[in-house]
């Protein structure tokens, strides 16, 4: 028998509450059990309505969404809270604040033209999949999208890493849970880190720029959003801007970043796959792909490409991942050289970068 998923919708806009309810009604397993008008209202309704998941607006009167998340966590409630944010710098900033305060994930609100059908389509595309994903374990009929495979033991070495050349460039792919994971990983690297790092974090425009600013402040590294033509130099840390794929391109004067708007892969732009593939093409066995926490399977095709070039692939382990979708898929496909707890990834990167940095950006693919 299917278990019904009880959803609380907290938004000061009656229209938005109605839109979300209408969109959810198309999912037979979901039921809106509470419509709260602001954060305080949501907290007051938690006990009487017993939701399994909360969709939380950010800017609301009385108590905003960020404060509400803090209060919910203070109460010891672990239910998923999905922030529902506008695609603005204010919305992006608040979403990142909310995630730091304990929100589970975020989705962006419909923008632009106000046609109800377009708004509903946007909800079905951006919000509903996240609700389904985060409640998959509660639905008896759910198909687990997080890999059900047994976790590969940490430090399982699947090929002779010792025989490889050192790493000259690193690409990181990450999605849900990314801001915290990236902050922790980058904090473990020295400020004179000698190789470039390219990051694809599944996020929309505006969010990626703000994330770069925050990571700079948190880690002391200079992290910035990539611009087309940026040259890779030692210590460069670039994040792909939202809505653009980022690839590495070997050109006459070195390796550069190129941005493009080719079709999304795995419904993602930026996608991890093009980045990993391009890094393998530019650096061959001196490339390293790292897949961190995230839903879905983006990165698997890229990891295959890296392995075909003789490059290394590391993935975050299940225990330290918020969602073991992307890394789990790579591990299950036998593409991971190492499956590591988050707090050991920086150490392992430092170990393999050492011998690859003598001529970091002129490495050939041969």
CB of 61 or CB of 354, closer to other proteins: 61
Burial of 47 by CB count in 10 Å (0-12 exposed, 13-18 middle, 19+ buried)? exposed
By CB under 8 A, is residue 109 in contact with other proteins? Answer: yes
Smallest gap from Cβ 60 to other proteins, in A, equals 7
d(CA 321, CA 67): 25
By CB under 8 A, is residue 162 in contact with other proteins? Answer: no
Binding string, residues 120-139; x marks residues near other proteins by CB under 8 A = --------------------
Q: Which stretch binds other proteins (CB under 8 A): 55-63, 148-156, 301-309, 330-338?
A: 55-63
Smallest gap from Cβ 108 to other proteins, in A, equals 10
DSSP annotation of 54 reads E
Q: Which stretch binds other proteins (CB under 8 A): 56-64, 253-261, 267-275, 279-287?
A: 56-64
Binding string, residues 66-105; x marks residues near other proteins by CB under 8 A = --------------------xxx-x---------------
Q: Which stretch binds other proteins (CB under 8 A): 53-61, 214-222, 223-231, 259-267?
A: 53-61
CB of 36 or CB of 182, closer to other proteins: 36
Q: Are 161 and 201 in contact (CB under 8 A)?
A: no
d(CA 149, CA 339): 13
C-alpha separations of 228 from 18, 109, 238, 259, 283 in Å: 41, 28, 11, 5, 19
Structure tokens at 235: 């210590």
Smallest gap from Cβ 71 to other proteins, in A, equals 17
CB of 11 or CB of 52, closer to other proteins: 11
Residue with tokens 């880690």: 219
Cα torsion 339, 345, 348, 354: sign: positive
Which residues does the annotation mark as catalytic? 175, 202, 298
By CB under 8 A, is residue 263 in contact with other proteins? Answer: no
CB of 117 or CB of 163, closer to other proteins: 117
By CB under 8 A, is residue 112 in contact with other proteins? Answer: yes
d(CA 361, CA 349): 17
Query: Of 115, 125, 231, 358, which one interacts with other proteins (CB under 8 A)?
Result: 115
CB of 109 or CB of 312, closer to other proteins: 109
Q: Are 201 and 239 in contact (CB under 8 A)?
A: yes
Supply the DSSP string of 203-251, one letter for each residue: --TTHHHHHHHHHHHHHSS-EEE--TTPBP-TT-EEEPPTT-EEEEEEE
Binding string, residues 30-49; x marks residues near other proteins by CB under 8 A = -------xx-----------
Q: Are 194 and 360 in contact (CB under 8 A)?
A: yes
Applying CB under 8 A, the site for other proteins has a residue count of 29
Q: Which stretch binds other proteins (CB under 8 A): 48-56, 70-78, 113-121, 268-276?
A: 113-121
Half-sphere exposure of 240 (CA within 13 A, CB side): 32
The residue ranges that bind other proteins (CB under 8 A) are: 11-16, 18-19, 37-38, 57-61, 86-88, 90, 109-117, 119
């Amino acid at each position: 028998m299917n278990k019904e998923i009880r959803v609380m919708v907290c938004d000061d806009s009656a229209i938005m509450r109605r839109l979300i309810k209408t969109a959810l009604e198309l999912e037979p397993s979901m039921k809106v059990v509470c419509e709260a008008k602001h954060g305080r209202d949501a907290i007051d309704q938690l006990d009487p309505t017993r939701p399994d998941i909360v969709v939380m607006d950010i800017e609301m009167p009385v108590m905003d969404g960020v404060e509400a998340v803090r209060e919910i966590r203070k109460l010891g409630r672990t239910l998923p809270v999905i922030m529902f944010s506008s695609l603005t710098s204010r919305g992006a900033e608040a979403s990142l604040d909310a995630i730091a305060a304990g929100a589970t994930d975020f989705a962006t609100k419909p923008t632009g033209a106000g046609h109800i059908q377009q708004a509903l389509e946007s909800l079905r595309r951006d919000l509903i999949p996240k609700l389904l994903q985060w409640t998959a374990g509660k639905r008896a009929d759910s198909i687990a999208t997080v890999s059900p495979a047994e976790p590969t033991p940490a430090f399982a070495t699947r090929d002779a890493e010792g025989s490889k050349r050192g790493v000259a460039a690193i690409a990181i792919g990450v999605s849900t849970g990314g801001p915290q994971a990236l902050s922790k990983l980058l904090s473990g690297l020295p400020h004179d880190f000698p190789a470039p790092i390219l990051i694809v974090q599944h996020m929309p425009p505006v969010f990626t720029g703000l994330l770069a600013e925050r990571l700079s402040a948190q880690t002391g590294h200079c992290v910035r959003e990539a611009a087309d033509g940026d040259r890779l130099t030692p210590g460069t840390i670039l994040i792909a801007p939202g809505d653009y794929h980022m690839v590495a391109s070997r050109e006459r004067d070195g390796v550069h970043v190129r941005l493009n708007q080719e079709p999304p892969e795995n419904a993602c732009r930026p996608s991890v796959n093009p980045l990993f593939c391009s890094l393998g093409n530019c650096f061959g066995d001196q490339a390293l792909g790292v897949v961190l926490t995230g839903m879905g399977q983006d990165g698997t095709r890229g990891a295959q490409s890296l392995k075909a070039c003789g490059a290394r692939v590391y993935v975050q382990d299940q225990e330290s991942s918020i969602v073991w979708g992307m890394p789990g898929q790579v591990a299950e496909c036998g593409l991971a050289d190492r499956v590591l707890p988050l707090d050991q990834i920086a150490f392992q990167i430092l170990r393999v970068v050492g011998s690859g940095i003598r001529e970091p950006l002129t490495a050939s693919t041969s």
